[in-house]
A = this chain, B = another copy of it.
C-alpha cells in the first residue's frame, strides 16, 4: 500500500526551494499523497553547535551551494536570485503556513510556493511582514486575521512541537521526506527516491 509522504521544509533552506517547486507535480505523477510540514532548522542547528546556516559557517561549502543551486534552477527552468541577507529569519513565514495548514485552509501550499519564489527567485525579503501580507492578499486571504492567528500562543506552540517532531524523526537538514515506515530521505536530490519508496 502506498505510503503518504511528509515533506519537511524551512523557508530559509535553499534546497527546499526546488523541492517545493516540483513536489506537487512529482507526487501527483507518482500517485503519492504529500503533507507539507514547515519547521525551523534553527533549533536543530543550535543543537549541532551552529548559530547560523552551515553554508555561512563553512565558506567553501557555501560558495559551492550557491553555484550548485543556480545550475540546478537553470536545469529546472526555475527563476533564481541569491537573496541578501542570507539566511533570513523564517519564523513568521513558518507560523503563517502552519496556521493555514492546521486550519485546513486551501491556500497554504500556494503560499509556501510563493514565499520560496519571492526569496530565491526574486531576491525578496521574507522576514518582512509586508512581503508575507502581500502574498496572502494575492491569494485572497485576509492578512490581518491570518497574522494574528499565526502569532497566537497555540500556533507558536504548534510550530515548536512540529520542530521537536522533526528532530525526533532524525531530521538534521532540509528538505527532508519521511513516511510511516520510518524511512528518512534528505535533500532535494532524494525527492524522486522518496516518492518511489512510498510506492513500494
**Could you list which residues of chain A lie within 8 angstroms of chain B, going by C-beta atoms?**
48, 58, 60-61, 63-64, 67-68, 71, 75, 170-173, 183-187, 189-190, 193
B58 touches A172 (CB 8 A): yes
A127 to B173, CA, bound (A): 32
**17 pairs across A/B with beta carbons < 8 Å?**
A48-B58, A58-B172, A60-B170, A60-B172, A61-B173, A63-B170, A64-B170, A64-B172, A64-B184, A64-B186, A67-B183, A67-B184, A68-B185, A68-B190, A71-B193, A75-B193, A187-B189
A60: chain B residues at CB < 8 Å are 48, 170-172
| A65, closest chain B residue (CB) | B186
Name the B residues within 8 Å of A172 (CB-CB).
Answer: 58, 60-61, 64
How far, in Å, is A195 (CB) from chain B's closest CB? 14
